[in-house]
Chains A and B, each alone.
Chain A
Amino acid sequence: MSTTTFSKVRIQLEDFSVTDEIEAMKKVSRNIGGITTFLGTGRELSKGENISKLNFEHYPKMAEKKLEEIREKAIQDFGVIDMSIIHRIGPIEIGENIVLIVAVGEHRGETFKACEWAIAELKRTTPIWKRETTTKGEVWVQDTP
């Protein structure tokens, strides 16, 4: 991966490499002593239904803006050195990567806290919707009012 094109907040169709993303974040500072990642993947079983396919849709511009706000707040409130957030959209097969958060800090404590907060905040505030295809048809998932 070229560091010149590395963006810390991305919404993209294509898959990402967890290793590449972590390595890119390690280059942010020589003071990094702890890295916490959250990786969300496509699950086969949801609420008792077998899922054959997932599809993610987002509101362009607003979703990216929300992810950037989450990144900035994580740095400010939890004292992590930096954070990257990558979310895929479009069709996603079972077992494939969906979302990755990488929190880097001087110590592990702040990175654990920042990472957990960031994924919860992403799901609460970011306009991204999931459509599951099951044997009963397609359904939009709306867990959080």
Chain B
Amino acid sequence: MITLKYFASLRSIAGKEEESLDITNPITIDQLSDIIAQNSPKMAEMVREKKVLISVNQEMTADDTLIRDGDEVAFLPPFSGGAI
């Protein structure tokens, strides 16, 4: 089972704060977005278009990151930043 967390503005897009998914084998970010698309197409689209940052176990992901059973995946909107 993996845990998905949605932060800040993404909570209302995903319609939830957190959810759990059962996976049998390691999956890629693309495969995860396909699963998310079933319940939240807009969220999946943002993932595919890289409009959100994704972390796995509190580390930012790369294109080839694999998500394994027990992982915590977080969807992070761009950070608040601020003008200099």
Contacts and interface: CB of A to CB of B under 8 A. Distances in A.
Interface of A: 40, 56-57, 59, 61-62, 65, 120, 123-131, 140-145
A144 B83 CA distance: 9
A140 B79 contact: no
A59 B83 contact: no
Contacts of A144: 78-82
Contacts of B3: none
A125 B79 contact: yes
11 contacts: A61-B58, A62-B55, A123-B80, A125-B79, A126-B79, A127-B7, A127-B79, A129-B7, A142-B78, A142-B80, A144-B82
Nearest to B12: A140
Contacts, number: 63
A59 B8 CA distance: 9
B14 interface: no
Nearest to A99: B82
A129 B8 CA distance: 7
Nearest to A62: B58
Nearest to B53: A127
A98 B5 CA distance: 25
Contact of B8 (A125, A126, A131): A131
Interface secondary structure of B, over-half rule: loop
Interface of B: 5, 7-9, 55, 58, 74, 76-84
Nearest to B58: A62
Contacts of A128: 79-80
B74 A124 contact: no
Nearest to B60: A125
Contacts of B83: 143
Contacts of B7: 57, 59, 127, 129
B8 A140 contact: yes
A145 B74 contact: no
A143 B78 contact: yes
A123 B8 contact: no
A40 B78 CA distance: 19
Nearest to A130: B80
